[in-house]
Amino acid sequence: MDGRDGMRAADADRAAVAERLRVALDEGRLDLHEYDERLQRAYAARTYAELEALLTDLPPVTPPQSSVLAPASVGGPAVSPLAGQPDQVPTGDATARWLGEVWLPYLKVIAIVVAIWAVTSVLSQQLLYFWPGWVAGPWGAVLVVRTVTGLAGGEPRRQAIERARRRQRKRAKRERRRELRSAESNERDDPQPAG
């Protein structure tokens, strides 16, 4: 190995290959087992050559607007909001949403167990042992670790990007269905004369 092939790959390179493999899975080019196997190899890869070997039998990604196979949408070309520009995800919103997803279940459960403790203390007319601490303490410690590692690893942004991609795929599916329905209704309205 010489040149670029022998150079060590970065985490961003591994993530880019993982994303290309996910796209290939979505396109039906890889089955789930093969995708999983290649994904494991991608994250274990050390050099560019190891990463490129995972993509050699896959065609390059064609943007939807320049694909010959992509249907033309009614309102103009279908362009992904994140196509090649993941920096467009608002970081503050993504972080707040992610923190809410991590911490809200905890806060709800703790509120319930503290309310149960308070009601039982009032009904027994004495201050009972604060047992909700055994629920809140360990779970809270786990969530603190998860929050710190998630924020350090960019988890909120990753989830926001994936959420936006899912929304874009759903929009594209709805648009394709709409186009198919309109094409079917046009065929019914304009029957071709038989031979």
Q: Does the pLDDT at position 138 exceed 50?
A: yes
Q: How confident is the model over 25-74, as pLDDT tens digits?
A: 888 888 888 888 888 998 999 998 898 898 888 887 655 555 444 444 44
Contact by Cβ (8 Å): 105, 98: no
Instruction: Indicate the range of 2-6, 159-163, 165-169 predicted with least confidence.
Output: 2-6
For residues 80-109, average pLDDT: 72
For residues 180-188, average pLDDT: 80
Q: Look at residue 6 in the predicted model and tell me its pLDDT.
A: 81
Rounded (10°) angle between helices 91-124 and 132-153 = 180
Q: Look at residue 70 in the predicted model and tell me its pLDDT.
A: 46
